Amino acid sequence: MCRIREQVIIRAMDSSSHVAIIDRACRRIEAAESAPDLATLAAEAGLSPGHFQRLFKAAVGLSPKRYAMAQRQRRLDRSLRNAGSVTDAIYDAGYTASSGAYRDSQLLGMPPRSLKAGGLNEIIRHAAARTSLGPILVGATARGICMVEFGSPKALLAELRRRFPKASVEPADATLKKWVKRIIAVIDKARVDQGLPLDIRGTAFQMRVWNALTRLTRGETLAYAELAERIGAPDSARAVARACASNGIAVLVPCHRVVASDGALTGYKWGIQRKRRLLQQEQAASHDQVTVR
């Protein structure tokens, strides 16, 4: 199924014909062994390259080139789990050289060889802790924090193992224990801590949304449509909302700062009450800082 239907509901295209044009382009990119270039896609749509690019990006949230890259990465993901070798998987996914696969794999979160093995040889450390908003489980790789979720530590540990089925899931080391203390301070005291390393993993579109969230300042809120504007995909507010709902790093990737267009608190994965408390604490801390100055 075309990714446009999986990830984005188009709300404001110039006409219904444009919906069909972008849908066909998605299918064309998904079916091609090598990605068609912008000029080819635009010519097939009967549009200028600039106009086609703007329509495509507004609907999908990515340029045609980035969309093709994301499709190729997904094919590589599937191939790595079944192919006889990493090299076979790379070429089966449509790469002409292994260097391209290893470059793109930064968005997959793991090198291809580790991804093929379901996290084999990766060490995922974990620690449970109590906060003023309830218990959390924190998971971390060698790159940084890959999970902060509210809920039952036992259930979340099972979820962590599901995400990394062949990784070595181990108790926290000294470094993670220090990180957990800092995370608790961020949650309980609305402390700003930009030094915590994050290992953010997701699709290309999700990464754009989540990275934009990390640039929001304490106490700042914005609507889903405004966040869509910030990432250059003004018609992808629904897709932005779904990316926020898929976030697995609570508070540090602050999806709680995204609200409805009328300011209402809606759609928080870990509960509206937690969202309200987080925002109240952040706004109070920001006000106190301004008052002190």
DSSP string, 156-182: HHHHHHHHSTTSEEEE--HHHHHHHHH
Indicate whether 10 pLDDT > 60.
no
Question: 75 pLDDT exceeds 70?
Answer: no
* Beta carbons within 8 Å of 127's beta carbon, 6+ residues apart: 137, 138, 171, 172, 176, 177, 180
pLDDT band for 40, please (50, 70, 90 cuts).
very high
Cβ atoms of residues 244 and 224 within 8 Å: yes
Residue 100 clears pLDDT 60, i.e. is over it: no
Name, in order, each residue with C-beta under 8 angstroms of 209's C-beta and a sequence gap of 6 or more. 227, 231, 240, 243, 244
- Residue 255, pLDDT score: 96
- Of 101 and 254, more confident: 254
CATH topology of domain 204-292: Arc Repressor Mutant, subunit A (1.10.10)
Mean pLDDT of the region 239-254? 93
Helix, strand, coil in percent for the chain, rounding step 5: 55, 10, 35
12-116 and 204-292: identical CATH topology: yes
**How large is the average pLDDT for residues 280-287?**
87
pLDDT at 79: 61
Domain 123-176 coded CATH 3.30.160.70: yes
Domain boundaries, the chain: 12-116, 123-176, 204-292
pLDDT at 101: 56
Question: What mean pLDDT comes out for the span 215-231?
Answer: 91
Q: pLDDT value at position 81?
A: 55
More confident residue, 177 or 289: 177
On whether the CB atoms of residues 238 and 9 are closer than 8 A, the answer is yes
Of 119, 32, 21, the closest CA to residue 72 belongs to 32
Instruction: Check residue 1 and give its pLDDT.
Output: 41
- At 11 the pLDDT is 38
In this prediction, residue 85 carries a pLDDT of 60
Residue of higher predicted confidence among 50 and 29: 50
Model confidence at 256: pLDDT above 90: yes
Please tell me the pTM assigned to this model.
Answer: 0.63
Spatial contact of 179 and 195, defined as CB atoms under 8 Å apart:
no
CATH class of the domain comprising 12-116: mainly alpha
Question: When comparing pLDDT for 211 and 292, which is higher?
Answer: 211
The partner residues of 258 in beta bridges, in order of sequence, read 222
pLDDT band per the 50, 70, 90 thresholds, residue 122: confident
pLDDT of residue 41: 92
Class of residue 19 by CB neighbours under 10 A (exposed 0-12, middle 13-18, buried 19+)? middle
What's the rounded Cα separation, in Å, for the pair 252 and 254? 5
Question: Which of 150-159, 232-241, 254-263 shows the lowest mean pLDDT across its residues?
Answer: 232-241
The token pair at 166 is 């062949």
Quick one: pLDDT at residue 3? 44
The Cα 11–Cα 18 span in angstroms is 12
Is residue 27's pLDDT more than 70?
A: yes
Mean pLDDT over each residue of the chain, to the nearest integer: 80
Distance CA 75, CA 27 (A): 14
Give CA–CA dist 214/199, Å, rounded.
Answer: 13
> pLDDT tens digits for 165-199?
878 999 999 999 999 999 999 999 999 888 899 88
Mapping DSSP to helix (H, G, I), strand (E, B) and coil, where does residue 133 land?
coil
Cα gap 70→170, rounded to integer Å = 31
Counting beta carbons within 10 angstroms of the beta carbon of residue 51, is it exposed (0 to 12), middle (13 to 18) or buried (19 or more)? middle
Of all residues in the chain, the percent with pLDDT exceeding 90 is 37
Catalytically active residues are 255
